Amino acid sequence: MTSFPRCDATAAWAALSGHFEAHGRDLDLREAFARDPARFERFGVEAPDMFCDLSKNRIDAATLHFLADLARECGVEAWRDAMLAGEAINTTEGRAVLHTALRAPPGEAPFSDEVHATREAMLAFAEAVRARAEGGARPLRHVVNIGIGGSDLGPQMAVAALAPFAHPQLELHFVSNVDGHDIASVLRRIAPAETLFIVASKTFTTQETMANAATAKAWFLEGGGGEVAEHFVAATTNVEAAARFGITRTFGFRDWVGGRYSLWSAIGLPIAIAVGAAGFRELLAGARAMDEHFAAAPIEKNLPMLLGLVDVWYRNFHGFTSRSVAPYHHGLKRLPAYLQQLEMESNGKRVDREGRVLPFATSAVVWGEPGTNGQHAYFQMLHQGTDTIPVEFILVKKADANAGEGRAVCESLARQQGMLLANGLAQSQALMLGQKSAEPHRDFPGNRPSTTFVLDRLTPRSLGALIALYEHRVFTAGAVWGIDSFDQWGVELGKVLGARLLPLLDGADIEAAGLDGSTAGLLRRVRG
């Protein structure tokens, strides 16, 4: 890989600094729209399965020009090509980053034969599970995914998003937390003989998942559910450990699939069970369409790149510390949680690839709730708080009913869709326009930036495109910052310390452990 300058050493970075001081800091969106009647068209971007309105962002043509220069100088396109070609761009772990290979057509990406064989086996199994839900001697009613982080958030988010397309007789559950209340709340609602457990863990060593899997197995055996091998399957790279647990049916994937990028792999089994093989293929096809856009579109029209670059602009020049995601589709209620891992585990880094401490900020805090719920909680702060927080609205034109839904529900879905969309549009309008008032408490400053995505429908295909868009956006910002977006060393220390503290909770000598005063004091408090 050719070496590229880090962003803060580029000419474009210096140009952006000057541009920010001269025009960027004080750009007023209301004046920008008044000056340029074509602003909406100028900053609207078409991408697979979606339209994106960037016009309510604090950017102008010069900002995008300098940001595109920045991407070029930092080698974003070269890093992208290296990723797609399977080079080991995850340098701190010496791994390739090939989640895009999981959605490429046969023969078109590294490891193609293996990817397709594994996927076909996984999809055939998903169809068999769906068939067992139709009836027969041993009908299945429940599927419980046990996994955490990337082995939970992606599948959980996608299954919720695609509920209208899901098998009506199968209920999907997700257990992640090591807190036993999580699994207990699921187990009390299901019966062993009707349940399939998926133990989803890339490493098959994660404490939370191993603890929950052991609980599920003990509960299953106690309840006389039958053969463990019939009711437990695994999605993992560690087939041996799964076998030691008693699982004989394992769906594998490789270490070049990062945990938070793994819903396209065997980790997506709950999605495939919910929406079927055809639905899962559509999800992959949507992501593939976005991959192609990302790979081929010029930076100025490349939506994931533009979003990643605007993220850099806001974080490093405006100094905005967070971004709020507001999906105006209740099915996307887990999207903010999913994005928290995708963005903050990927780009929450403080050193560059060479290990040098960065003199500039990286990942913003990502947070949010589905609209309209967020409006009645924290939108007060977005409109009138002291911080400027860019907001991302995701609007979906048409609502989808579940198969077999009655007339009243279908009619209300259509009726309430108008209210939902009007709310989303009104919020972005209010953030930008504000409202002058002589009464300070009623004054809205306005000029608060937002981005709006418009999807026709939330289908497996458009969801696939949306998720891939976010993946590549995160990639773009990480490539500009010169960091390794694909490792996650920051989660390790807490795991190690937790393992040391566990015996102390079970009665070992706290005084002899040589702990800091606070941890020792708290241990005494929480120990029975």
Q: Could you tell me the strand order of the sheet in which 365-368 lies?
A: 44-47, 50-53, 450-455, 391-396, 322-328, 365-368
**Closest Cα partner for 89 from 524, 485, 495?**
485
CB 160 within 8 A of CB 166: no
Question: Can 318 be counted among the known catalytic residues?
Answer: no
Q: Is 397 a catalytic residue?
A: no
- We find the least distance from the C-beta atom of residue 276 to ligand F6P, in angstroms, to be 24
Q: What CA–CA distance (Å, rounded) separates 389 from 323?
A: 6
CB-nearer residue toward ligand F6P: 231 or 260: 260
For the chain, the maximum distance between any two Cα atoms, rounded to a whole number of angstroms, is 74
In angstroms, the CA 281 to CA 265 distance is 12
Smallest CA-to-CA distance from 72 within 243, 249, 275, 299 is with: 299
Rounded to the nearest 5°, which phi and psi values hold at 90?
-85, 85
Minimum distance of ligand F6P from residue 485's CB (angstroms):
12
Minimum CB distance to ligand F6P, residue 136 (Å): 32
Closest distance of CB 149 from ligand F6P, Å? 3
Q: Output 74 or 474, the one with its CB closest to ligand F6P.
A: 474
Q: Least distance in Å: CB of 265 to ligand F6P?
A: 11
Shortest CA distance to 138 belongs to which of 23, 230, 61, 49?
230
Q: Which is nearer to ligand F6P, 202 or 473 (CB)?
A: 202
CB of 341 to ligand F6P, least distance (A): 7
* 70 touches 16 (CB < 8 A): yes
Residue 399, classed as helix, strand or coil, is coil
Helices (H), 75-162: 76-85, 112-133, 153-161
In terms of phi and psi (left: phi > 0; alpha: psi -120 to 50; beta: otherwise), the region of 138 is: beta
Looking at beta carbons only, is 217 or 260 nearer to ligand F6P? Answer: 260
- Minimum distance of ligand F6P from residue 235's CB (angstroms): 9
493 CB neighbour count, 10 Å cutoff: 9
**Residue 495 annotated as catalytic:** yes
**343 or 345, CB closer to ligand F6P?**
345
Residue 24 or 150 with smaller CB distance to ligand F6P: 150
Q: Are 45 and 306 in contact (CB under 8 A)?
A: yes
SS3 170: coil
Identity of the residue, 75 or 155, whose beta carbon is nearer to ligand F6P in the bound complex: 155
Residues that bind ligand F6P (CB under 6 A): 148-151, 201-203, 206, 209, 259-260, 345, 488, 491
- List 301, 397, 398, 495, catalytic entry: 495
Using the minimum distance from each CB to ligand F6P, give the nearer residue, 485 or 488: 488
C-alpha–C-alpha distance, residues 182 and 187, integer Å: 9
Please report where in the chains the tokens 């995850």 appear, as a residue. Answer: 90
Strand order in the sheet with 232-236: 171-175, 142-146, 195-200, 232-236, 250-252
- Give which of 105, 24, 526, 452 is closest to 284, Cα–Cα: 105
CB closer to ligand F6P, 201 vs 462: 201
Output the smallest distance, CB 345 to ligand F6P, in A. Answer: 6
Q: Which of 131, 250, 135 is nearest to 201 (CA)?
A: 250
DSSP for 362-398? -PPEEEE--TTGGGGTTHHHHHHSSS---EEEEEESS
Taking the complex as a whole, how short is the minimal distance between the CB of residue 366 and ligand F6P, in angstroms?
16
List the catalytic residue out of 23, 301, 376, 436: 376
- Catalytic pick from 73, 171, 345, 392? 345
CA proximity to 175, closest of 205, 213, 207: 213
Query: Annotated active-site positions, please?
Result: 345, 376, 495
